[in-house]
Amino acid sequence: MEEEYNLFGKCPFVTAQKIIAGKWTIVILHNLSTKTLRFGELQRLLPELKQATLTKQLRSLEEYGLVNRKVFPQVPPKVEYSLTDIGKEFKLVLDSISIWGEKYIDHIKSAEVSES
Amino acid sequence: MEEEYNLFGKCPFVTAQKIIAGKWTIVILHNLSTKTLRFGELQRLLPELKQATLTKQLRSLEEYGLVNRKVFPQVPPKVEYSLTDIGKEFKLVLDSISIWGEKYIDHIKSAEVSES
DNA sequence: CTGCATCCTTTGAGATACTG
DNA sequence: CAGTATCTCAAAGGATGCAG
């Protein structure tokens, strides 16, 4: 994972974009920002997201160091996901995205009204 | 462009993710947040980005309503890109991404040091 | 100068089936 | 319960050539 892209690790925007790229990363991080979750809980929170995809995205976030994966060696298995320190710091970005997203949605709606 | 995805226009995170999805959107928005730019200027700022790709990304951002495209009917042609109002509001997100990105880069570097 | 149309290649999401 | 492995398909980036 280390040392692969020219601007990765140089430009904060390129770096962030690369990490966020996954289709569900933001939503996953948002859910984990509230509290630690088990795999199954995450899955239930994101019904549209298939198991295999969720696994991939979590692995990706783990490799990037945003997410902790804690395996409990027991039967039935139990795996908990939580944010690392640097992952928690991402919450500020999530907050601003949330705020902007709301504004944007309002903006779209009012535009639709005046159109029709 | 209107009315296509279930959670688009509902969940601020899903909505934002969808818009940001393009590989270069964040960097493009960042560059435009400073000032209005011509097509060629943008291209020079992003040398790795191919012309066709840049066009597509700009079109996408235009459709989503974040970017204004102003065509000057003259020879040689001149096209200026700038942020719309809602596009300008995205700057808050860009700022937080920038801040987090810097932290993340530092974080990675110190981790590399302690590894080797 | 700017940018559209077309084709190619790669990426990654999604679906299905199977395991400790 | 929480994966892994594999396949398919669509999307997006990228390269090239053409046009107003």
Query: pLDDT of A59-103, one tens digit each?
Result: 999 999 999 999 999 988 999 999 999 999 999 999 999 999 999
Q: Is the pLDDT of residue B92 over 90?
A: yes
Nucleotides of C under 7 A from a protein CB: 1-6, 12-17, 20
Q: Does residue A22 reach within 7 angstroms of strand C, measured from its CB?
A: yes
In one-letter notation, the amino acid at residue B82 is S
Which of A12, A89, A111 lies nearest to residue B98, judging by beta carbons? A12
Residues of chain A neighbouring B5 (CB-CB closer than 8 A): none
Whether omega before A47 lies within 30 degrees of 0, making that bond cis, reads no
Q: Which residue is nearest to nucleotide D20 (CA to C1')?
A: B77
| Four-point Cα dihedral A102, B13, A91, A32, nearest 10 | 140
Interval A25-61: pLDDT, tens: 999 999 999 999 999 999 999 988 999 999 999 999 9
User: Contact A11/B2, CB-based, under 8 Å?
Assistant: no
Strand-pairing partners, residue B38, are B80
HEC readout, B30-69? HHHHHCCEEHHHHHHHCCCCCHHHHHHHHHHHHHCCCEEE
Evaluated on CA atoms B68, A104, A58, B104, the torsion sign reads positive
- Whether B19 and B63 have beta carbons less than 8 Å apart is answered as no
Which of A16, A97, A103 lies nearest to residue B13, judging by beta carbons? A97
pTM: 0.90
- Rounded percentage of chain A residues whose pLDDT exceeds 90: 79
A106: left (phi over 0), alpha (psi -120 to 50) or beta: alpha
Q: Give the number of C-alpha atoms closer than 13 A to the C-alpha of residue A112, restricted to the C-beta side.
A: 11
Task: Report the pLDDT value the prediction gives residue A111, as an integer from 0 to 100.
Answer: 78
Q: Rounded to whole angstroms, how far apart are CA atoms A90 and A85?
A: 9
Instruction: For residue A5, give how far its alpha carbon lies from the nearest alpha carbon of chain B (Å).
Output: 12
Which of A2, A86, A112 lies nearest to residue B103, judging by beta carbons? A86
Q: Is the pLDDT of residue A2 over 50?
A: no
- Whether A94 and B6 have beta carbons less than 8 Å apart is answered as no
Q: What is chain B's Cα-based Rg?
A: 17
Q: What does DSSP say about strands A67-72 and A78-83: parallel, antiparallel, or unpaired?
A: antiparallel
Interval B17-68: pLDDT, tens: 999 998 999 999 999 999 999 999 999 999 889 999 999 999 999 999 999 9
User: Contact B11/A27, CB-based, under 8 Å?
Assistant: yes
- List of residues 6+ apart from A54 with CB closer than 8 A: A24, A28, A39, A42, A43, A46
Q: Which position has the higher pLDDT, A105 or B115? A: A105
User: Contact B100/A13, CB-based, under 8 Å?
Assistant: no
Q: Is the pLDDT of residue A113 over 80?
A: no
Q: Can you tell me whether residue B81 is helix, strand or coil? A: strand
User: Contact B9/A109, CB-based, under 8 Å?
Assistant: yes
Residues of chain A neighbouring B92 (CB-CB closer than 8 A): 96, 99-100
